[in-house]
Amino acid sequence: MLINTNSVAFRDMGVEIFREQVIFNNSVKLKITESILDIISKERNGEKIDRMLLKNILRMLTDLAIYNDLFETKFLKESQQFYHMEGEKNIQEMSIAGYLCYIDRRMNEENERLASYLDHSTSKRLIHIVERELIQLHMETIFKTNFDKLFSESDHELLKLAYNLLTRVPEGTNKLCSQFNSFIKNQGKQIVISTEEKDKTMVQELLDFKDKVDEIAIKCFGRNEKFINSLKEAFEYFINQRTNKPAELIAKFVDIKLRSGNKETTEEEFEKLLDKVMVIFRFIHGKDIFEAFYKKDLAKRLLVGKSASVDAEKSMLLKLKQECGSGFTSKLEGMFKDMELSRELMPTFKQFLLNTNPSATVDMSVSILTTGYWPTYHPVEIIMPSELLQYEVDFNRFYTSKHGGRKLQWQRNLGNFVLKATFNSVSDFPCCIVLLI
C-alpha cells in the first residue's frame, strides 16, 4: 500500500491551522465549551438533545488533542457542582426509597452518556463524582431516613439497590452491615424480652425472624460473609439478653413438635424445622438449661408413650450429638437404651408370670430406668390395689433372679393405666376416673 506523504503532511498542516486559527480563537473556544456544557445540562434536566451531533463534536476535540483542556476539566467541575446541589436538595425532600431510586437513575444516565458521546477517559472521574456527591457525603442521613423500614418490611428490591450503591463508596459496606446488625439486635430483643403471654410464641417468632433476615442476607446482600457473620453475632447477642428462658422455651417447643410429629408436614419439612431449631439452639449460652428441660420432657414422652415418632426422636438426638458432642447426649441415649431393654424384657416376664401365676389377668409392662440417666424423681406414696401389688412382687422375683444384687425402687407416680369397663344398662350416676400419669 502506497501512502502519499505529501497528503498526510497537508492534512496535519490543515488540522494544525484549524486548531490554531479557528478553535483556539478565544471567542470560538469559549462558545464551543459553553455550548457543549449547556447541551449536557439540558439533557440532565430532562430535555432531548442530538447525541450524535455532540458525539461528533467531542470526537473532533479528541482528534485535535484538546478534549481535556477545552472540555473535560470544566465538564467535571460543573458535574460536581450539579450533583452537589442535587444531593443536598433531594436527600432532604425525598423518602429513603425515592432517594435510592434517584441515585440509581442518575448513575444510569451518566453511564449512558459515557456510552453515547463522552470519551472513555472521563468514565472513572465522572462516576466517582456522582458516587461521592450523592452517596458518600450523605451516608449518615441515608441511614437516619427511616432506613430500618426497608428491613422490617423486607423490601428486597430496595435493599439490594442500597447494597449495590453503598458498596461503591468507602465505608459503605461497613455502615450498611452495622445498620443490619443493629436492626437484628433491636427487633430480636423485642421478641426475647417479652411478656409471659408472648412466651408461648417466642420460638416460632425467632424461627420466622431468622428466616426473614437470612433471606435478606442471601437475596439482597449476595451472601456477603461480612453480613452473614454479623447476623450470627446479633442473634447470639440478643437471644442471651434473657437468661435461661429462651433455652427452656426451645426445649418445650421441641417437645410439642415431637409429641405432635409431622401430622401437618412431610418428613422432609419436619426435618427442616428441626434443623432450624438447632440453628437457634446454637446461639444460646444456657445449653445446660436446655438439656435439663429436654431430658425431663423426653422422659415423659418415652414413659407415657406420647412420642409421635421414634425416628424423629433419634434424628433430634443425632443433631444434638453433632452440635454438642457425645458427652451432652450420653444420658439421653441411655434413656433410649433403657426403654429398648425394657421392651425386650417384657415377653420373658410375661412368660414367667404365666408359669407362676396362670390366673393373672392384668397386662402390665414395666420400664427399668437406670439411675443417672433419667431425671431425679421423688417417690410418691400411692395406695395400690392388692392385685397390682402382687404383680410388683412377681416382677421383683423375676428381675432379681436374673440380676442379683440390683435393687428396684418403684416410681408409681410415673405409671399410667387404661381402665376398661362394661355396663349392662345405662343409667345416670356420677363417675370419677383417676389417671396416674
Whole-structure pTM value: 0.84
Asked whether the CA dihedral 169, 170, 173, 176 is positive or negative, the reply is negative
DSSP codes of every residue in 126-158: HHHHHHHHHTGGGHHHHHHTTTHHHHHTT-HHH
pLDDT tens track of the chain, all 437 residues? 445 555 556 555 555 555 555 566 566 677 888 999 999 999 999 999 999 999 999 998 888 888 898 899 999 999 999 999 999 999 999 999 999 999 999 999 999 999 999 999 999 999 999 999 999 999 999 999 899 999 999 999 999 999 999 999 999 999 999 999 999 999 999 999 877 788 999 999 999 999 999 999 999 999 999 999 999 999 999 999 998 999 999 999 999 999 876 677 788 899 999 999 999 999 999 899 999 999 999 999 998 888 888 889 999 999 999 999 999 999 999 999 999 999 999 999 888 888 877 776 667 788 899 988 998 888 777 888 887 888 888 888 888 888 877 888 888 777 777 777 777 665 554 544 444 33
State the Cα angle at 92 between 87 and 95, rounded to 5°: 100
Q: C-alpha cell of 408?
A: 428396684
Can you list the positions of beta strands (E) in 235-347? none
CB atoms < 10 A from the CB of 227, how many?
A: 22
Three-class secondary structure of residue 67 per DSSP = helix
Burial category of 47 from C-beta neighbours within 10 Å (exposed 0-12, middle 13-18, buried 19 and up): exposed
